[in-house]
Amino acid sequence: MAKNINKDVVYKAAKSKEKDYMLNDGGGLYLFVSKNGAKLWRLIYTFDKKQKKLALGSYPSVTLETARRKAEEARDNIANSIDPMAIRSEKKKVQQLLNSNIKRVADGLPILNSFADIARQWLESIEHLTKTTTQTKKISRLERLAFPMIGDIAINQIKSSEILAVIKPIIDKKQLETAHRLHSEISSIFAYAIVHNFTDYDPAQPVSKQIPAQKVKHRAAIIDPNQFGQLLRDINNYHGTFVVQSAFRFSPLVFQRPGEIRQLLWSDIDLEAREWRPYISKTDFHHIVPLSNQAIAILTDIKPLTGNSQYVFPSSRGDGRPMSDGTIRTALKSLGYESDVMTAHGFRTTASTLLNEQGWSPDAIERQLAHTPRDQVRAAYNRAQYLDERRRMMQQWSDYLDSLKNGAQVLPFKKIG
């Protein structure tokens, strides 16, 4: 097939006519001259038994030499079973994506199909299944720890080594729980990406073996009755603010989680019914805590001081917040009880151990500890289950603690039916 038929002067001299016409340069390349005077380079070729027409630009902006070079590149692609129009279409898509992403970044949005983009989609897909506080923590972890390093990378281009680079600094800081949580979230994002056809592989999988297993931390607790009696005497002699003294003395009587005690709301207390009805966020249900005479006495004594506040045990700063997270822990340390001996959470362990030894129903004890099934229907049923027994148990538990505090001889404790 003849090529390079004409010299440039031929194309330069071409004038418009009454009808459109073509000047053939050979090899499928020609100059299309329209009746309005436009001169456009075209390449006619056959691909997959279909005749196609490829635009190569206008003359003289695209010179004869350039047009011939573009035509030759297209012929080489055709010889290698590559459709030149498909290449152009792909380039156009890439440019459109680039332009779109430039606009998205300017608007504060993640790059399309990037890790951050797919992560946002995954977070939205699980929002209705996740508690607000948990969802907020997931978003924060990803934004702080993952997005700065891999957020802008295309989801299908991320390597295992890049994910390890995200996790490794957290491991080095010994923040293993955060490392495991973040790894799990990254892996979940890739699972979402796989089923939605954004990628076909989870590069986070090999990284899991690089994260050390997290050691289970057992919260220290005193379970010897005599030693616990001494602790109760020390608590009784604790010299702190009246609010902290009250919270400190209240903790062993109700043995609820420290966070729930420090955030105890007056609106959740019914002194007449002798009940505390907190919402337990950890297990997502409303609990009933029967209050003993001793617990009622503490609440009655502190009500003139904090009754106008939202919280029973408010912060000493007067800023409307509850008592700070480490208050009871600090109080224990001030009495000489380090965290390897006794913790604020340890009151729960002490109560569980001694009440089980004393023969109370394990189910009643578990309900009192607010350990509840995840099944919501069963949880609602269990909320009030064993309530009569728990009322008796809580009063006798408080009486028992008084006997320990007063230094009574420790005898086998039998519940009263």
Strand partners, 311: 265
CATH class entry, domain 115-210: mainly alpha
The ranges of the chain annotated as CATH 3.30.160.390 are 8-91
Write down the catalytic residue from 168, 181, 371, 415: 371
Q: What is the CATH number of domain 225-406?
A: 1.10.443.10
Write down the catalytic residue from 257, 262, 367, 390: 257
Per-residue pLDDT tens, the chain, 417 aa: give them. Answer: 688 899 999 999 999 999 999 999 999 999 999 999 999 999 999 998 899 999 999 999 999 999 999 999 999 999 999 998 888 888 787 777 777 767 777 777 777 788 999 999 999 999 988 888 889 999 999 999 999 999 989 999 999 999 999 999 999 999 999 999 999 999 999 999 999 999 999 999 999 999 998 765 567 899 999 999 999 999 999 999 999 999 999 999 999 999 999 999 999 999 999 999 987 665 566 789 999 999 999 999 999 999 999 999 999 888 889 999 889 999 999 999 998 999 999 999 999 999 999 999 888 898 888 875 544 444 444 555 688 999 999 999 999 999 999 986 555 444 544
The ranges of the chain annotated as CATH 1.10.443.10 are 225-406
CA atoms of 23 and 41, how far apart (whole Å)? 10
DSSP 109-163: -PPTTBHHHHHHHHHHHHGGGS-HHHHHHHHHHIIIIIHHHHTTSBGGG--HHHH
CA atoms of 264 and 278, how far apart (whole Å)? 8
Task: Record the tokens describing residue 293, joined without a space.
Answer: 């005479």
Is 257 annotated in the active site?
A: yes
Is 371 annotated in the active site?
A: yes
CATH class entry, domain 8-91: alpha beta
CA atoms of 244 and 262, how far apart (whole Å)? 9
Write down the catalytic residue from 233, 345, 392, 415: 345
Structural contact between residues 189 and 115, judged by C-beta atoms closer than 8 angstroms: yes
Structural contact between residues 160 and 204, judged by C-beta atoms closer than 8 angstroms: yes
